[in-house]
Amino acid sequence: MNESPAPPLDCVIVATGVANLASVVAALRRAGAAPRVTHCAREVLEAPAVLLPGVGAFDAGRAALARHDLDCALRTRIAEDRPTLAICLGMQLLFASSDEGTAEGLSILPGHVARFDATRASAGALRVPQLGWNRIDAEPACTVLASGSAWFANSYRLIDAPRGVRVAWSEHGGRFVAGLESGRLVACPFHPELSGSHGAALLRRFVRAAREACPC
């Protein structure tokens, strides 16, 4: 007798007010989630899965999180090792600071996100922003991230990974962090929702891992 399919997993998308979320919502639905956008801190804290989206500017995104106490909810959630995916700007916001703005980041992870080499970019030797497909190579310990090609639209990157995390790497004017996993936190500077079959598989793995972690 065939088992009935699992119901879609409740997945909260953090409303930063600076991101176009249509493609993220559609991609999560295809991955088996039931996405909903919220600026309610309690929902962000308690949801089975949370996505902190990309697109937008660092300072504006950081201010939006503080406006509704979403920064505190995210810090608590990640400290409790609850499934969370941060993409593009969402990944930047996890760190202490970024060249993109003057605001303090969430400092959930140590480090500074720097702009791609401005000297090489101004000389035409390096395209900034990096816009398009690039290869990523995930360390064997990664469980959600995987090696393959992903779609990037970024002017800023993390050069050194924090100690103790599982890492994927890429190259654009030098090696940079193309993704990391720390417990049930997954973060990447690329856009899974725009990364074809590679991104779709990543989102399915994230949803599956979140479902397995759900106590209900």
Which residues are tagged catalytic?
Answer: 88, 191, 193
Task: Show the tokens assigned to 74.
Answer: 């995210």
- CA 41, CA 200: separation in Å to the nearest integer? 27
Neighbouring-strand partners of residue 66: none
Under a CB-based contact definition with an 8 Å cutoff, are residues 100 and 92 in contact?
A: yes
Under a CB-based contact definition with an 8 Å cutoff, are residues 13 and 49 in contact?
A: no
What sign for the dihedral angle of Cα 74, 77, 80, 85?
negative
- Name which of 125, 129, 99, 128 is nearest 111 in CA terms: 99
**All residues at 6 or more sequence positions from 210 whose CB lies less than 8 Å from its CB, including other chains:** 9, 11, 48, 49, 83, 184
> Other C-beta atoms within 10 Å of 174: how many?
11
Under a CB-based contact definition with an 8 Å cutoff, are residues 168 and 145 in contact?
A: yes
